[in-house]
Chains A and B, each alone.
Chain A
């Protein structure tokens, strides 16, 4: 069974390599089907490993498999090994599962794209890197995967790089992530210098031993790791890149920028829970409060967005904040639980949005939508499931996981809980706004005939992907639309994800210890660092009722504003919110103004001092070289003289050392 571990990432790797060599020849749709089947194979292998682990006793649920010694070099030895424990397998299961569905979806979505096979090549590469990230048995392999998913993310954001905005969005993601990666690297160095190993099992063994690691060192590691996690998981102040990343094709937004990659920060912190347990108390508190701030901050921005994908992007940032609150409060299970349910419903929402965009001729502006539920019945129905899940309406999955996170916040601090509840209410509000503006109300588009005449049949594929951009659509609201349901490759994943988003809660039902499947499953990797809930059952019920009421209030407010028109929407959609509290602009202005001057100074320093040194070296080198070259006369006698002189020097030296 250990041997199956390396098979899991090997599937997408084979897919990637094959597509690299033969992708163009396979063409559409073969390349897509091939890529999908590779990821499906990885899912099957993961499932097999999962059942293998399940068959073991709780304490022995770990597979380790070292493929080879990677970098043997004295003290520093890193193996290329995989770790199959409850956490990594749980991650791998939902990663491969959702990836398979999204690959399938992308076959329909990317129909007609000139770079069809290249898209799947990147997607396979992404899945491979993501699996390396979660399954590597040491920090260096995790980092390798971390950089790999980052690289795929940049490639895919700027996939349609012909458009300047897409290319610069990719650049933005790249630069912002560098800041985070720097934190990760420093944390890794610090771990190596204090613990002497990057292997997780060795590291934890050493950290958990008495006098294993100083509190200050552990705190520094946690803070640095959090910087890395904040970059990848788009937490304040490094979240900037994620909304822009929506420039990529929608399946990418669903897979990378909602379900999997952006949660790797949460994974990393959960994995490192023994180090967090050793750190000073303020470090996890900082994580929780930054998570809360991000959750609130992003939720306010989401309220005023008109681009359907931007709403979902800010929503993702906000939901990631929820997960960090749980991590910071020490309820790792709640974080992972919310990560999984979020992956279900957010992937569903993104794919649904993609289906809508697809049907609306690539227009992403919600102000041009309305009453689409008739034209796209399947998309609308599945989207509504996702909406109810994220809004926290029982019994959908989001309710259960969000309830756990709120409970975690309550255990930590009352104010934390109260503000997080506010964020939850706002979540329900902006998601309802999105749904009402898109699927209900009156149609704000025209198809040239009567809007009612659209019968929702699957339209022919030829009007699928033209290269119309958002801007073009926004400038021409009077254009004609032909909303239609998407092909089956697109709605089958929607239905599957809707099912998961509806019932995903059963993973960890709070009623008794026996129904907390996820908590029992993850127990071995948490080493008892999970905080024990002290709240009474009555309190828990009360908190749940508050959460439900909050969700209903949010939905109700949105209904009043956007369906009944009782509230002036201008007041809600304040320009400052629409522009994200001007944070992005402030950063841009700073970078363009004082920052720019700083960079100019750095450039000058580089050009004159550093390059000067380099050029100086070159000049000295050349001069010395030409002088020495004179000795090369080409005459044998000169050369022989050289040999003889050398011999004399050597003999003299040696004889001078002799002992009498």
Chain B
């Protein structure tokens, strides 16, 4: 012991090689966030207020653009001309760059752009404007990228925490609303609990396999037959709890309705799209990619979670009266469908989950955009009666919301239809017929929820039939340009890929995850 201490430090600490090109999108996004924080701290008084949202949108676009050359590289097969093509890993094999991670990077970039456009007006309307929201959102999204790219359980945890901590703060952002504070607090306490469980799972897995690196774990599991796998299986359970909490799978879902209802609406849009996507990315990387050889052990659990999530999400949604709570349960039931795709444990199943996540991200951001605009200042009037007759006072908003609700219900000619269709057929291909049937029945039940909202906005609200009140109601909901752009993009995405899903599903199929060594 003393000898070791006495030895002079002969070698420097070995630093891994870094393939900077593979980190580019992540660096742009997280660096952009830190830079924004620096700029506004130093030059607070000189910065015009339009600067921050525009800056965030540009950073988001830059992240997405930087991902394109990576996408072309990793989805290509190595050839004599380009031996570097194909998936690769960097940072001592702890950060993987493959079609899967680049797909998620682009998705997060899109979410950042859309939510920044939406938040711009919201923050001003609620008088909580400032750069903090944008900085936190960019950081959170870069945490998502880390999760989707992690080739190491420790890196995965790092990504999870970067993602989560920022979102806890964002949920509590509306400082004058007690519900927002409460939501942030609840989310934080329960999130901390689940993170602890997740970390414990990492420890048990390390104990069972002797490594935290996913590549090494997979090698180990395929080469060594464990005489006693209790430690490993307990690790599975705890890791699954961590992911299950983030995706809002039953029974780890209970935070969702309260947090969705209390948190600022654009933040909810971000949580439903980006956080859910990141957690599913992590789940697929760890369970399907790494623990694939043990799939007979974890598939039944995901099967059970999927059924519970589908049923609770669909049934409880029916009796809600608050639109944001309704959409929270809807988000739970969507997690159920995504679990159906994960449970298939095939490459096709993985592709369907990616398609679903992309389709859902756009639909849900669109939905919350309409809710943000329709519920008006204060962010509190979110009950079903508050938006009754919306389609008659503001036809454009009404039609857009109808498109998103139809999409979430899985009606043909929307991307939501193909999303559900693909996951269910993936389950059927994997011989999980029971699950496929439950998923279809749950879709029928969940349709009640969406129909109820549609009926409220189209048929109810007779009390505002008076023309002057109608005019007042119209004047009360201006559609700012940022939100208008979001609506056009999300409606377009939902309808175009509902008619022609080919390019999107092909992209999702190209985005198969791979564990590369580098």
Contacts and interface: CB of A to CB of B under 8 A. Distances in A.
Interface in B171-201: 185-186, 189-190, 193-194, 197
Nearest to B250: A646
B251 A646 contact: yes
A201 interface: no
Contacts of A644: 193
Nearest to A634: B258
Interface in B226-277: 226-230, 233-234, 236-238, 240-241, 244-245, 251-252, 254-255, 257-258
A128 B229 CA distance: 65
Contacts of B314: 621
Contact of A621 (B227, B421, B445, B505): B445
B502 A74 contact: no
A636 B240 contact: no
Tell me whether chain B's interface is mostly helix, strand or loop, or mixed.
helix
Contacts of B228: 658-660
A646 B228 CA distance: 24
Given A628-B316, A636-B190, A642 B233 contact: no
A645 B194 CA distance: 12
A647 B315 contact: no
A657 interface: yes
Interface string A624-645: 1110110110101011101111
Q: Which of B234, B238, B254, B301 counts the most A-chain CB atoms under 10 A from its CB? A: B254
Given A643-B254, A655-B230, A625 B315 contact: yes
A576 interface: no
Nearest to A624: B315
B220 interface: no
Contacts of A69: 502
A68 interface: yes
Contacts of B505: 72
B404 to A, nearest CB: 22
B301 A653 contact: yes
Interface in B466-518: 500-502, 505
B301 A625 contact: no
B319 interface: yes
Contacts of A73: 421, 425
Contact of A650 (B186, B227, B301): B301
Nearest to B189: A636
Contacts of B425: 73-74
B177 to A, nearest CB: 16
A469 interface: no
Nearest to A656: B233
Interface in A462-477: none
Given A70-B502, A657-B297, A643 B194 contact: yes
A657 B254 CA distance: 28
A36 B255 CA distance: 62
B315 A654 contact: no
Nearest to B446: A621
A300 B254 CA distance: 76
B254 A639 contact: yes
B135 interface: no
A80 B189 CA distance: 53
Contacts of B307: none
A636 B501 CA distance: 42
B254 A628 contact: no
A639 B234 contact: no
Given A628-B315, A660-B227, A640 B233 contact: no
A651 B230 CA distance: 10
B234 A621 contact: no
A617 interface: yes
Contacts of B236: 654
Interface residues of A, number: 38
Contact of A651 (B186, B190, B238, B501): B238
B318 interface: yes
A639 B186 contact: yes
A20 interface: no
B229 A658 contact: yes
Contacts of B240: 650
Interface in B388-431: 421, 425, 429
A627 to B, nearest CB: 9
Tell me whether chain A's interface is mostly helix, strand or loop, or mixed.
helix
A640 B197 CA distance: 12
A650 B316 contact: no
Given A642-B252, A643-B251, A629 B186 contact: no
B448 interface: yes
A656 to B, nearest CB: 9
A658 B319 contact: no
B312 interface: yes
A625 B237 contact: no
B317 interface: yes
A610 interface: no
Contacts of A659: 226-229
Contacts of A621: 314-315, 318, 445, 448
Contacts of B301: 650, 653-654
Interface in A63-117: 68-70, 72-74
A647 B238 contact: yes
A622 interface: yes
A459 interface: no
A626 B321 CA distance: 12
A278 to B, nearest CB: 32
B245 A658 contact: no
A618 interface: yes
Interface in A136-185: none
B172 to A, nearest CB: 14
Contacts of A645: 251
B323 to A, nearest CB: 16
A643 B197 CA distance: 10
Contact of B241 (A624, A625, A646, A658): A646
Q: Which of A68, A621, A628, A640 counts the most B-chain CB atoms under 10 A from its CB? A: A621
A619 to B, nearest CB: 10
Q: Which of A74, A618, A650 counts the most B-chain CB atoms under 10 A from its CB? A: A650
A303 to B, nearest CB: 49
Nearest to B318: A625
B251 A642 contact: yes
Contacts of B300: 653
A650 B193 contact: no
Nearest to B428: A74
A393 B424 CA distance: 64
A652 to B, nearest CB: 8
B194 A651 contact: no
B186 A617 contact: no
B79 to A, nearest CB: 26
B238 to A, nearest CB: 7
Interface in B432-472: 444-445, 448
A644 B421 CA distance: 34
A128 B445 CA distance: 39
A295 B12 CA distance: 99
Contacts of B245: 643
Contacts of A639: 186, 190, 254-255, 258
A645 B254 CA distance: 12
8 contacts: A618-B448, A625-B317, A629-B320, A636-B189, A640-B189, A646-B244, A647-B241, A659-B228
* CB-based closest 4 A-B pairs: A646-B251, A654-B233, A625-B319, A658-B230
Interface of B: 185-186, 189-190, 193-194, 197, 226-230, 233-234, 236-238, 240-241, 244-245, 251-252, 254-255, 257-258, 297-298, 300-301, 312, 314-320, 421, 425, 429, 444-445, 448, 500-502, 505
Interface of A: 68-70, 72-74, 617-618, 621-622, 624-626, 628-629, 631-632, 634, 636, 638-640, 642-647, 649-651, 653-655, 657-660
Given A625-B318, A660-B227, 16 more contacts: A68-B500, A73-B421, A628-B315, A631-B254, A632-B257, A632-B316, A636-B189, A640-B190, A643-B190, A643-B241, A643-B254, A647-B197, A651-B238, A653-B300, A654-B298, A655-B234
